[in-house]
Amino acid sequence: MRSAHTVEQVRAAEAALMARVPEGSLMQRAAAGLGYAVLDLLGRAYGARVLLLVGAGNNGGDALYGGVLLARRGVRVEALLLSPDHVHEAGLAALLGVGGRVVGSVEEAARPDVVVDGIVGIGGRGGLRDDAAAVVAALEGVPVVAVDTPSGVEVDTGQVGGAHVRATVTVTFGTHKVAHLVDPAAMASGVVHLVDLGLDLPEPAVTALQDDDVRGLLPRPAPDAHKYTRGVVGVRAGSEQYPGAGVLCVSGAGSGLVGMVRYVGGAADLVRAAHPEVVVGAGRVQAWVIGSGGGADAEQALADSLADRVPVVVDADGLTHVDGPLGVPALLTPHAGELARMLGVEREEVEAEQLRFARDAARRYDATVLLKGRHTLVAEPTGEVRVTTVGPPWLATAGAGDVLAGLCGSLLAAGLSTFDAGSVGSWLHGTAALVAGQDGPVTAPEVARALPAVLRTLLR
């Protein structure tokens, strides 16, 4: 599992470690990791040109010492000091001692092959100052390696509040930061490379499941299982206006994780034709999925499902009728526009502050909230959050959310909590899109058809 910690947590852990190790050793470890990451990106040392953008304090110090390693390997290293009065003096002296050079402007420097962003550390807030923003703009098009986090992003929230660096690679130290996982800041982080410093860290603020985590959470049938003990998921989705949503939701629910799928909705004939194994008609279930393409029937579908007192997944049209806690374990699956309506804010606000609003909604509705996006967030009322970072941009396609809702419902019916069902379901959904699309276009039915293969690979 990837873990992301807050600035306060990281600083406390670093202070505790620095009290036990020789002075400067932590910065040297960080700088070595940074230097080797830059060499990897360059693909060579001799003849390469690197420009360090050096801010104040330890972040600038990391950049300078990383430059020392590069210069010793034959890279031409130049440093532009953005806070000359607050430069890390020992780091600057070390760079000059191995042939590094200080320049007064971008124009004075050789055109670099790579820029190292050491402008602002994890304590920075808001966008870049005007002078730093102008320097970054002048270097547009040059690959950037960010030190710890891209300068100008909000580290603990994932927000982007103004001009900021867009990194090709971010080299971070000790642990991931929230900004590496949560959009929109995660989009500015590029590929994130973690340098282990041996920090003793508390419980993380945000996590992201990996293959082994998902494998460990997947429900498995007991040796004496039958279709009812494996779980039955009910689907109330699809309508006369949107019959395909019912078929797609059933496709996600019928991925093999439960023993049976029941269907109640306005697309019974289409569901029977596509999935002859599905039982059409109400009956006992361990979880309901409602709302996908539900149209005018969604309100009644929600009421009928809640009457069974089993966990529910509420998607799409069903979310319109959620005005408070539902009284049963619930997984709500909005996109940014739907969550904005539920919270009475603008969509742009949700997209800018995804972590905040996902947590706000989870508390308000006393439910697990799965906020769909490039990096999907799954938030608990307690504030615990998991981020799904797998899935191609091609997954932004009509019907994909219907498949996801059905898949999450099957995991609920198989016995997972709403939090595990949402985070495992979104991970499987994104991975299935990668498998189905092979880095190209993908449709919602193809995502559903790829799910069994993804599951077999994990379980094998």
Apex 396 CA angle, 393 and 397, nearest 5: 135
Residue 145: both structure tokens together: 């390696």
Binding-site residues from annotation for K(+): 59, 117, 151
Sequence letter at residue 47: G
Pick from 95, 205, 217: which is nearest to 156 by CA?
205
Binding-site residues from annotation: 58-62, 117, 121-127, 148, 151, 245, 293, 335, 372-376, 401-402
Binding-site residues from annotation for AMP: 372-376, 401
> In sequence order, what are the beta bridge partners of 51?
78, 115
Binding-site residues from annotation for (6S)-NADPHX: 58-62, 121-127, 148, 245, 293, 335, 402
Question: Quick one: three-class SS letters along the chain?
Answer: CEEEECHHHHHHHHHHHHCCCCCCHHHHHHHHHHHHHHHHHHCCCCCCEEEEEECCHHHHHHHHHHHHHHHHCCCEEEEEECCHHHCCHHHHHHHHHCCCEEECCCCCCCCCCEEEEECCCCCCCCCCCHHHHHHHHHCCCCCEEEECCCCCECCCCCCECCCCCCCCEEEEECCEEHHHHCCCHHHHHCEEEEECCCCCCCCCCEEECCHHHHHHHCCCCCCCCCCCCCCEEEEECCCCCCHHHHHHHHHHHCCCCCCEEEECCCCHHHHHHHCCCCEECCCCCCEEEECCCCHHHHHHHHHHHHHCCCCEEECHHHHHHCCCCCCCCEEECCCHHHHHHHHCCCHHHHHHCHHHHHHHHHHHHCCEEEECCCCEEEECCCCCEEEECCCCHHHCCCCHHHHHHHHHHHHHHCCCCHHHHHHHHHHHHHHHHHHHHCCCCCCHHHHHHHHHHHHHHHHC
Query: What's the distance, Cα to Cα, between the start and end of the chain in Å?
Result: 20
Residue 355: both structure tokens together: 């972590």
